[in-house]
A and B are shown apart, each in its own frame.
Chain A
């Protein structure tokens, strides 16, 4: 679709006409006017631009669907702004109602524009060439000659030649119309249909696809079922049973970083060794997951999108019972040093619930009295914790983030927060228990996406491109032939031609060649006499004619620019 092809209905005059019609037809007129406005090229372009504009915050602000941990971090660093942004759906831009409004309108606009046009194009591709105009001399390319053939025979042989050259023919009394280049319309048609198919493919993905996120600690596994996903965004018709029933176990994870030079701290590679089953009971297979090399199971793709550390902590409560013993995922706050923050909640500690807010430093160094991390690898891991006791607010049933402590019902324990090395413990005051830092594990975050519309979208994208190229490269051109008896008893044959949208040029040459062939053929039917050489050649065409031995015909050829 180019703007030039656009309906004139979007022009102010037409809009005004629509308005006047609206005043006459009332509601129906208004609806028709609204529909025309919606399906106009201008509206589609504005909507497309709006869609692009609306996606900008999606790439500037962290997105819930892509990296929920980054959103948590944003909440921490912008406590006042974040709730406002959240209310405006700016952390899930692509799921926002205003975003949906834009693309639903765009969808309607494009479908409303493309469908009627497709119907017109089908008609155009099946069309017979129009009747030959009465005055062919007014066409951009013309040629004429006389022959001794009868008008009927001349037309017949012209039709034959054009037919051989795969022109579509339409004959009438004293004329032949021929048209070629219907492939242009086929290309156009393909482009429009592919565009519609693209829209439907994308809708298909939105209806039957889903997206999910999962944080997975080394040594642990998960199943692709809604209860086991951290974030699950199903399409409209996706139920819990529609998910591919695979399960993944994370065997190991290795991150490599540049250790020196200007690129220090930059990641070199991430490799996650996975064992997976496509369904319960299926054989266990291994896959090494890398960035941009997803694991594909039954059409669902599992991407590696992030990683971090999970300090392994053991919490013993005041009764001497171990209430927590395992890794706790911490969220990196600085990717270059992997300094990470997290919380540990021990809701079943006695006599009081315990909570800890911690900072994990993978490569701790002393920087002027304070410890900070110098490198993303765990060269000298340290964990520092601040303890809280009281009410964690979990028993009320209100779901809460596992990365945040609700300190409302908690009070901070008075204790020296010294960074712990692996194996070191810290005793909590008032006989509340002890906490031991045992070591660390690594975790990865996975994005699971299933989009059944992906392949159809790709195919229709390519089809649209092919159609567009075809419609640009193929010219639609018409050649008309008229034959009439002249006063001297001979037959005057007139040719006229025109190319539609001949941007690339080249029709002139084709037309000249056709005219020469036709003339040579019709002269040749009569047999060339020895007189051929007596007429001196006048121009290039005449010379060509002389060589063909068709001297008895006078030829005047004018190119497309001749007039």
Chain B
């Protein structure tokens, strides 16, 4: 914006002044903290993003936080709840059709979902900041067979706030048979990476 409107400019000016007046600008330290996690989302300029590389965390039995029992409508309009999946291992994948890393990992996820269905591993997607047409198009392109909750306002991600909140898109959570979060992955995962983590959670080769 080459010429911000006067009022907005004054707001920016006031903000800048306040920062300068505070002597040591707090965002400085914040900047040292590393990756701009949400920078590949719509609305970001994408100029300074650190593309989020793969990062996985495994939680040992006993350290696993209880997953919230989220529910909602899928992209195809069907109602589903995590409650009806109790007893299964759930792979919960937060994605968006606009998100390039999500597109990159989609074929692997679709393949794994088909291969592991017999072992009681169920895949559910959570489609973030998307609109139904493009989401359906994505699922068709990548032949995604599992359902995805429609979450344009990111309210499902918010329900994980006090447990293991997703911090990047894509984020994949593996929820064990007792409904506890056993693993978390930030960033696009490959078939082998995800397969290895699932094997660890279900305690047998996946």
A373 on the interface (CB 8 Å rule)?
no
Contact A231 B36 (CB under 8 A): yes
A355 on the interface (CB 8 Å rule)?
no
1/0 per position for A390-410, CB-CB distance to B under 8 A?
000111111111111000000
**A305-B8, A394-B100 known; A346-B134 Cβ under 8 A:** yes
Contact A451 B26 (CB under 8 A): yes
Contacts of A70 in B (CB 8 A): 1, 4
Segment at the interface with A among B77-85, B136-144, B195-203: B136-144
The residue from B45, B137, B153 contacting A348, defined by CB atoms under 8 A apart? B137
Contacts of A457 in B (CB 8 A): 22
Contact B100 A395 (CB under 8 A): yes
A283 on the interface (CB 8 Å rule)?
no
For window 96-126 of chain B, which residues contact chain A by CB distance below 8 Å? 97-101, 103-105
1/0 per position for B1-25, CB-CB distance to A under 8 A?
1111111101111111001101111
Minimum CB–CB distance from B117 to chain A (whole Å) comes to 24
Contact A207 B29 (CB under 8 A): yes
The residue from A324, A335, A397 contacting B133, defined by CB atoms under 8 A apart? A324
Contact B43 A329 (CB under 8 A): yes
Contact A395 B39 (CB under 8 A): no
Q: Which partner residue on chain A sits nearest B9 by CB separation? A: A335
A236 on the interface (CB 8 Å rule)?
yes
Classify the secondary structure of A's interface with B.
mixed
Classify the secondary structure of B's interface with A.
loop
**A103-B24, A403-B45 known; A227-B38 Cβ under 8 A:** yes
Tell me, in angstroms, the Cα distance from A230 to B33 when the chains sit together: 17
Contact-residue bracket for chain A:
35 or more
1/0 per position for A215-250, CB-CB distance to B under 8 A?
100001111111111111111101111010101010
The residue from B4, B36, B103, B158 contacting A223, defined by CB atoms under 8 A apart? B158
A554 on the interface (CB 8 Å rule)?
no
Contact A394 B103 (CB under 8 A): yes
Contact A94 B19 (CB under 8 A): yes
Contact B153 A292 (CB under 8 A): no
Tell me, in angstroms, the Cα distance from A221 to B154 when the chains sit together: 8
A480 on the interface (CB 8 Å rule)?
no
B91 on the interface (CB 8 Å rule)?
no
A303 on the interface (CB 8 Å rule)?
yes
Contact B30 A404 (CB under 8 A): no
**A72-B45, A245-B161 known; A399-B137 Cβ under 8 A:** no
Contact B1 A100 (CB under 8 A): no
**A266-B6, A323-B133 known; A71-B47 Cβ under 8 A:** yes
Contacts of A331 in B (CB 8 A): 1
Minimum CB–CB distance from A338 to chain B (whole Å) comes to 10
The residue from B12, B31, B188 contacting A94, defined by CB atoms under 8 A apart? B31
The residue from B5, B16, B38, B165 contacting A231, defined by CB atoms under 8 A apart? B38
Contact B8 A73 (CB under 8 A): no
The residue from A69, A231, A306, A349 contacting B137, defined by CB atoms under 8 A apart? A349
Contact A64 B48 (CB under 8 A): yes
Contacts of B128 in A (CB 8 A): 227-228
Contact B14 A68 (CB under 8 A): no
1/0 per position for A74-108, CB-CB distance to B under 8 A?
01010000100010000110111101100100110
Contact B44 A226 (CB under 8 A): no
B178 on the interface (CB 8 Å rule)?
no
Tell me, in angstroms, the Cα distance from A322 to B134 when the chains sit together: 8
The residue from B27, B99, B131 contacting A206, defined by CB atoms under 8 A apart? B27
B2, B24, B159, B163: residue with the most chain A Cβ atoms closer than 10 Å: B24
Minimum CB–CB distance from A263 to chain B (whole Å) comes to 9
Tell me, in angstroms, the Cα distance from A323 to B130 when the chains sit together: 12
Tell me, in angstroms, the Cα distance from A240 to B1 when the chains sit together: 30
Known: A68-B43, A103-B23, A291-B7. 9 other contacts (CB 8 A): A106-B23, A203-B26, A224-B158, A229-B38, A230-B43, A234-B33, A235-B26, A238-B33, A335-B5
**10 closest cross-chain pairs (CB), A and B:** A95-B31, A397-B104, A401-B46, A206-B29, A348-B137, A215-B43, A399-B40, A228-B154, A221-B153, A205-B26
> Which residues of A approach B to under 8 Å, CB–CB?
48, 51-52, 55, 58-59, 62, 64-73, 75, 77, 82, 86, 91-92, 94-97, 99-100, 103, 106-107, 198-199, 202-203, 205-207, 209-215, 220-236, 238-241, 243, 245, 247, 249, 266-267, 269-270, 279-280, 291-292, 303-306, 321-326, 329, 331-336, 345-349, 393-404, 445, 447, 451, 453, 457
**Can you sample 9 A-B contacts with CB below 8 Å?**
A66-B12, A94-B19, A94-B27, A225-B158, A228-B129, A230-B41, A236-B33, A291-B7, A457-B22
